[in-house]
Each structure stands twice: as C-alpha cells, then as structure tokens.
Amino acid sequence: MKRKVSGVAVINEAELKRQIAEGAFARLYVVCGSEDFLKQHYAALLCERAVDEAFRDFNFHRFEGKDTDLNEIAQAMEAVPLGGGRSCVMVRDYPLEGVAGDPDWLRFLRELPEHGLLVFWMNTAEFRPKKSKALLEAIEAAGHVAEFNRPDMAQLTRILASGAKKRGCQMDRATAEYFTQTVGGELNTLYNEMDKLCAYAGGGGLTRAQIDAVCVKSVDAKSFDMVKAVAAGDGGRAIRLLDELFQQKIAPQMLLGSLIAHYVDMFRAAVAKQSRRRSEELAKIFDYKGSKVYRLKNAGAMAERIKMPQILRCLELLDDADRRLKSSGLDNRLVMEQCIFSLLSVRA
C-alpha cells in the first residue's frame, strides 16, 4: 500500500514486509522518517534478505554517505554479484537532496542494474524531496520510499500489547501509557525494557508496581518526578533525584531542557484551561504524540496545583539557569541545585 508524502509515493510497513518476505525487491529503497529503531531494523533486514549469506562478503557493500561519492556507489552497484544472485549496497546518510540537480546522478538512479539493490538509510540525515520533482521521478522509476515515524499513543498501545503477549504477559492501555511515560517513547528502549519487565513478572497482567520495580526511568520521567517534588515542596526528594541523574552522567543541558519542557507543558495546559480548550485541541495544536500525550495529561494535573504567576516565574528562573549553564564558568551542578532551590522558593 502506498500513500503520498511530500509529493512522493511512500510504502507502509506492511507492504515493505511483504516485499521482503516474498523476495520481491525493487532496485532502490530510501528508508527515512523519525523512528530510528524501525529505520535501522528494515534497512538491515533488506540487505540481509536480499543477499545470499554464502556470498555476503563479496556481494554486500556499505558506505558512509558523507564520505562517499557517486563513482564509488556506482562501481559497487555495477559489479556482477558472485554466485549469480543479487548484490546489495547500503549507504547511510547520503545527501540525496544536495545532488538532486545532477543529471548524471538522476540517470544513475533511474538505470540501476537489475542484479543490484541500493538502500539509502537516512539515519540522522533528513529526507525532504518535495522541492525536486526530478529526484522523486528517479526514485519512483527504480523503487520506493519507506518512511517510519514515531507511532501515536494508540499505535504504541497495540505494539506494546502485542509485545507483551509474545512474552507470555498482558498489558492494558493504562499500563502501556504509564510504561511509555516511565521509560520513554523510543521503540528500541521500550522493547529492551519489555524483555526485563516480562521476565520479572513471569506471566499474567503487567502492573505499575512491576514497572517501578525493574524498569529504568527515562530522563524525562525522572525530571517530571523532580517537578512533582518541587510542586509538593519536597526539596529533599528533588535534590535526591538530581543526584541520581548526575550519577547517570546526564548532561546538565539535557536535564534542564527536560525541566523546561515540563513547565512549558504546564503553561500550555493552564492557558488552555483559561481559554476553555480541551486537551485534545492542545495536543493537536502542539503536535503531542505517543508518550507526549501522557506528559500533557500530567501537565494538566500539575497546572491545577500551581497558579499561572508561579508557572511564569518558574520559567524565568529556568531561563536564567539555562543562560548560566551556557555562558558562565560556574559549576554545572551548583547551577542546577540553585535552580531547584529557586523553584522551591516560588512554590513556598
């Protein structure tokens, strides 16, 4: 099944899985999107299934896009595969849009040899081809774009429920939401923590208590716990959480950024309430998806306990801490501790 994204036909996960299972490969795939785990998984799976394992050392070639030119890719693609099978070339983060105006490059894409499979894995590079009609036409002439984006909460719930079932457990929607809030929304992390959780539970329905017992909390989750401690006036717990995050060697800028995000969520939730807007409208306006939806619900509950002037003052203090982290010679831990105590004083 295909859909149009930025003017190019994009195949979905089900269609890509079908092509891989049936060995019905195109000559070209551009694997892109915001979900890193699925991009890596399917780029690797394409290359694994397309090449005969017995001749893999001869017929599989991998390049780093930033250090590779067209001639190297073309030579690897044109080489006749050993054993009469198929060759595969994987190129990570090639700047496709930067060469969209090169007629030799476009001709090369359109005329890829039948014995080869070329996979562009956009790991960190973005792929936004809508400005180049010629590039889109060249891609569609030889193959497909496969785009994988982070799932929304409904999709995550289904994925997690299926993952738990395969491991002999059950996970309902509320537990799935708490699970993503606790460990984060990255699929690779979710799968790893699911393995631990199900092994610990030993079967049956999974619970919040089990998640708290064995799962590693994300920086986002721990920073929200810190916000809750500040809102409750519990300075001891807030500082203990800060200490845990420093022991994990979390960059202070990353931690502060997470704190700022939670207070921004509270500000938005408070404004929405004053404007009599529903949380669903807020989520749509600011593109809250996946685990971020749960974060927005938490922010709404927190905004009930903190007045708008306090939220605004906290944002000012966080902005000041951000400036000091970036521009002063002060110890990062000292800056963060002073910030926490300042936030506590606003709450008091």
Give tens-digit pLDDT for 260-284.
Answer: 998 999 999 888 888 888 777 887 8
Give tens-digit pLDDT for 199-211.
Answer: 999 999 999 999 9
Closest C-alpha among 41, 43, 49 to residue 121 = 43
**Are the CB atoms for 60 and 43 separated by under 8 Å?**
no
Give tens-digit pLDDT for 241-256.
Answer: 999 888 888 888 888 9
Helix (H) or strand (E) holding 48: helix 36-50
Whole-structure pTM value: 0.66
Percent of all residues in the chain with a pLDDT value above 90, rounded to a whole number: 41
**Are the CB atoms for 337 and 239 separated by under 8 Å?**
yes
Q: pLDDT at position 209, please? A: 95
User: Where does the pLDDT of residue 5 fall: very low under 50, low under 70, confident under 90, or very high at 90 and above?
Assistant: very low
Mean pLDDT of the chain: 87
Residue 347 reports pLDDT greater than 80:
no
Q: pLDDT at position 313, please? A: 94
